[in-house]
Amino acid sequence: YPLDALYLSWGSDPDIMLAQYAAGTRVFTEVMDPAPGFAPWATPTGWSSARDSGTSVSLADILSAVHAGSNGVFKGSGIRVIQLENGYQTNFGDWDINGKFPQGHKSLVRDTIHKGGYKAALWLAPFVVSPQSRVAREHPEYLLKGVDGKAHAMNSATLGGSYYCLDISLPEVRDWLKSLFRKISVEWGYD
């Protein structure tokens, strides 16, 4: 499946990094001609589990959305995407599916969402890590450290809890992120 562009940058001069980002984004806008062969997607229209289910999303919610679409509820809406939002994961940082989805990501995408005629989207916060996550336990060196050299959990009212942040200045963290996105798109099949 073709993927949307993902831009990651690191460096010591934010002005240079911002200029590099701006130069790169010109390819995806009407400011200049796009790269040869570039075909942007139309703005996707879809259903998101966050609106109806919040973090208590379950398989029944996804099945209901796919079923509603096949029964014409979405007729004329242009809905082409079903997005699984926050609440499916075992922990922030461990983006595997939890017990509410016993069939796993791959089957959910292939046998439910794609089979229903939709593209599958997945919400995640790739730089956020729960203290109890596997990645925090097995790779504490991946966590962003304060000036004291220790990782400090930050409280998030939005996400509801305390979380670490990944240190994307580390090559091994960037490799871990590349592997995560490869798994999401290639192995699990999210569009």
Sequential pLDDT tens for the chain (191 residues): 455 566 677 778 777 777 777 666 655 554 445 555 656 666 678 888 988 788 889 999 999 999 887 777 777 788 889 999 999 999 999 999 999 999 999 999 999 999 999 999 999 999 999 999 999 999 999 999 999 999 988 888 877 889 999 999 999 999 999 999 999 999 999 99
Burial of 161 (0-12, 13-18, 19+ CB in 10 A): middle
Q: Where are the beta strands (DSSP E) in 35-156?
A: 46-48, 81-84, 89-91, 94-97, 119-122, 128-129, 154-156
- Written as one letter, the residue type at 92 is F
User: Is 173 in a helix, a strand, or coil?
Assistant: helix
- Written as one letter, the residue type at 75 is K
pTM of this prediction exceeds 0.85? no
Cα-flanking dihedrals φ and ψ of residue 32, to 5°?
-150, 170
